[in-house]
Chain A
Amino acid sequence: MDCDTCAAKAIITLQHGNLCRHHFLDYFEHKVFKTIAKYELIKRTDTLCVAASGGKDSLTVLYLTKKYCEKNNLPATLFALAIDEGIHNYRAKTLQDLELFCTQHHIPVKVIKTKEEFKHTLDEAYPLINKDAKKKPCNICGVWRRYLLNKYARKNGATKVITGHNLDDEAQAIIMNVFKANTGLAARLGPISGVQDHELFVRRVKPLYFCTEKETRLYAWLKGFTIEFTECPYAREGYRAKVQEMLNDFEQQYAGTKQGIVNSFLAILPLLKEKELPGQKNSIQLCQECREPAQGEICNACKIQRVLEHEQ
């Protein structure tokens, strides 16, 4: 099979045609740069914190954010921030890949350990929390990661947090929120997420928003990024894994399903934000224990901490 643009051998079939290596790389980079420009994800004066784990998505977004800044002569400062949850046989390897990548590409990297911040790794916390609150490991991990990324991005002067969320991640999140009727959470999705314009929150932006998981893996492979496959031992336990499998089955039978979900969602997102977010800024308080932003008197990270201390 040949590339639709030139006579070279195709390496991927997309909805709009077949592409060779050269034209795929062009297509992918163009799509990411267009997303950054269209949604104004990066501004000249920004200090950029890239949330990084060492996986394909974070290495790709780290590489392309740096390339975008260089291409457009942006003086934006860039650093990578990783959260080490202390998951045995998993996180140490991905952080090793991240540190190697950052050394090769001259990007400063900071690693925050949950063990130092919360006195527990996820492996230690999960059995204790699960016993009391029946929370899944991904619930705890999600709260910790969002808390630490925001806190340490802000402490390091970042004005944006860049994440590697891709089209598959977003389509899954949209469907999960629909299935669970979480319209308030759905209103926080989109290429720019997080609470708008609040001094305690650093806005999160997603340059890979329109790139599928398969495209991103292919890009990382073609660029030769060192990514050894390791799987989080908790990954298959989550609700997301079920939705992911369902969407991949649909995509195989009805190509364009994931893109359709995201496009439909973007069309209604302004209305959803209008309905769900007014007054949100005023409802944000300082956590009485850690002084980080919270929806109530105590933030979610401190609620988890209370359970952990009670269980010890």
Chain B
Amino acid sequence: MELEVFKEREQTTVRIDFKGKTVKELLQQLSINPEVILVVRNQEICTEDELLDEQDRIELLSVISGG
């Protein structure tokens, strides 16, 4: 499925061809360590086991401070 993902640290939105089903698989596909981000789906925090849908608006918030 196609997913729109906003990456806070890079301040960019990308469209990706997502091969998996869950948040955990999305992070694996993007090679992102779950320790360093919070995943927000449609303005709600979600856990790694949650299933994603093509309509979802995903935001990856940086946990690491900028300074």
Contacts and interface: CB of A to CB of B under 8 A. Distances in A.
B65 to A, nearest CB: 5
B66 A221 contact: no
B9 interface: yes
Nearest to B40: A221
A18 B34 contact: no
Nearest to A57: B65
Nearest to B48: A13
Interface stretch (A63-71, A189-197, A244-252): A244-252
Given A248-B33, A248-B35, A55 B65 contact: yes
A159 interface: no
Interface residues of B, number: 23
Interface string A1-42: 100000000111100001001000000000000000000000
Contacts, number: 65
Given A57-B65, A213-B64, A221-B61, A252 B33 contact: yes
A100 interface: no
A230 interface: yes
Given A11-B47, A213-B64, 11 more contacts: A10-B47, A13-B48, A55-B65, A57-B65, A214-B38, A218-B45, A221-B40, A229-B66, A230-B66, A231-B9, A249-B33
Interface of B: 8-9, 11, 33-36, 38, 40, 44-50, 61-67
Interface of A: 1, 10-13, 18, 21, 53, 55-57, 90, 94, 213-214, 217-218, 221-222, 229-232, 235, 244, 248-249, 251-252
27 contacts: A1-B50, A11-B45, A11-B47, A13-B47, A13-B48, A53-B67, A55-B66, A57-B65, A90-B66, A213-B63, A214-B63, A217-B61, A218-B38, A218-B45, A221-B40, A221-B61, A229-B9, A229-B62, A229-B66, A230-B66, A231-B66, A232-B66, A235-B66, A235-B67, A248-B35, A249-B33, A252-B33
